[in-house]
Amino acid sequence: MSEKPIYVASDIHLGVAPPETEQAFLRWLAHTAECASALILNGDVFDFWFEYRSVVPRGHTRVLGALAGLVDRGVPVSMMGGNHDWWGGSFLTEEIGVTFMQDPVVAELQGFRTFLAHGDGLGRGDLGYRILRAVVRGRLTRWLFGRLHPDFGTALGARVSRTEYREGGPSDAERGRSKAVRTWALAELQRDPSLDLVVCGHTHIPLLEEVEPGRYYVNAGDWLHHRSYLVLQEGNPPALHTWEG
């Protein structure tokens, strides 16, 4: 059993998040290097990310360097593709050294059999988004997008992302997504009794719920509003923290 926990965070949305949020995230990554045995970033680290064959989006150099530094120190970093950065590729895996996942996975995390998913497209409703997701993730669409000049493609991606940083709490749409993803997660725990834990992001609303003794649904929240993250350590229940440092 590792003495250090696993940290899980999601929805940082670099590119939309204000500079002070990115600086706080960098400080948290430095803390993670000292205190965690592994880091999982559960989608939408970047508000838009598309890797051309020889070009990657400009910006966030210090964050990418910090992630590479974690890997170099022996702290494994895994990234789940979200609805904004599902198009990660060889730059992240080969140059930065992260493990990049494009689909939900089931893994043993600190003694918890865990279903890990970003959360987009889960639950009832949002049929229009599901159709759009199938189109934009298709091979033909990715090939055509890759033919665009990177400046134009990046500007187009930023325009359609629709992520907004605003003061105040979650929007009505985020609250609606939170309810839908929670309902789906509870049904998944009921469907598969081998699961101890379902972890999602996407909704921007942190939530930890013990569904029954020893079985949990957790949403890690976001960094636009909450700067929240999940701590998993064997022998202890999951815990949500807010970064204040």
pLDDT for residue 55:
82
Q: Give tens-digit pLDDT for 14-62.
A: 998 999 999 999 999 999 999 999 999 999 999 988 888 888 888 899 9
pTM to 2 decimal places: 0.90
pLDDT for residue 171:
78
pLDDT for residue 170:
73
Q: Is residue 32 part of a domain?
A: yes
Distance CA 19, CA 238 (A): 30
Q: Is residue 194 part of a domain?
A: yes
Q: Is residue 53 part of a domain?
A: yes
Q: Which residue segment(s) compose the domain that 156 sits in?
A: 6-242
Number of domains in the chain: 1
Contact, 114 vs 197, CB < 8 A?
Answer: yes
Q: Is residue 188 part of a domain?
A: yes
Tell me the CATH number at 46: 3.60.21
Q: Is residue 68 part of a domain?
A: yes
Q: Is 138 exposed, middle or buried (0-12, 13-18, 19+ CB in 10 A)?
A: exposed
Give me the torsion for CA of 85, 189, 238, 70, rounded to 10°.
-30
Buried b / exposed e along 88-116 (16+ C-beta atoms within 10 A): bbebbeeebebebbeebeeeebbebebbb
Identify the band that residue 152 occupies on the pLDDT scale cut at 50, 70 and 90. confident
SS3 31: helix
Q: Is residue 1 part of a domain?
A: no
The stretches of 73-225 forming alpha helices (DSSP H) are 90, 127-136, 139-146, 150-161, 172-191
The whole-chain average pLDDT of the chain stands at 89
